[in-house]
Amino acid sequence: MRSEADTPLVERVLRIESRADGGALEAFGRCLPRRSANEVALFLSHCYAEIPVGKIYDVCFRCAEERAAVRVAATVVAVTQQFGVAWDEIPHGWNTLTVVRFEPEVPVWVRELPETGSWYDRPSSLLLASRETWAARTLTG
């Protein structure tokens, strides 16, 4: 188990693969809460550490061009995996189906992600991080 404190600053990112489609939500996401308009069920790649529900990230940016970023409050609302059981954290090293609340609204980059039925249908293309992590990764500090 890896804590966020034990993770190098530049590695503290949630890697978003895609939005979950209806089939994925039926198969894996029955335990997830009903989503509001600003919440999205996302397939996330291997998590860098154990991240509790309620964790808030400040920045959304593209893997291919990290300097372009959108400031947003992105809160981890709910987490599950292929077992369809609600968890109170994103476990270190796991791929998850995670509901994220975006405020003030869902960024266009997230809205433009394709919907898929499972993990690995497409590579990670977006990242969520703190402002400090984003600045360290882009050397804009």
User: Mean pLDDT over residues 51-77, rounded?
Assistant: 96
The predicted structure's pLDDT at residue 121: 80
Is the confidence at residue 83, as pLDDT, over 60? yes
Average pLDDT score over the chain: 95
Q: What is the percent of the chain where pLDDT is above 90?
A: 91
Query: Would you call 6 helix, strand, or coil by DSSP?
Result: coil
Is 123 or 63 the better-scoring residue by pLDDT? 63
Is the confidence at residue 19, as pLDDT, over 70? yes
Report the Cα–Cα distance between both ends of the chain, in Å, rounded: 29
Strands 14-20 and 89-90, bridge-based pairing: unpaired
Q: What structural domains and CATH numbers belong to the chain?
A: 9-138 (2.40.30)
H or E element: which one contains 126?
A: strand 126-129
Could you tell me the CA-to-CA distances from 50 to 4, 62, 70, 77, 92 in Å, in that order? 7, 23, 24, 14, 5
Is the confidence at residue 128, as pLDDT, over 80? yes
DSSP string, 47-77: -SS-EETT-EEEEEEESS-TTSEEEEEEEEE
User: Mean pLDDT over residues 73-93, rounded?
Assistant: 95
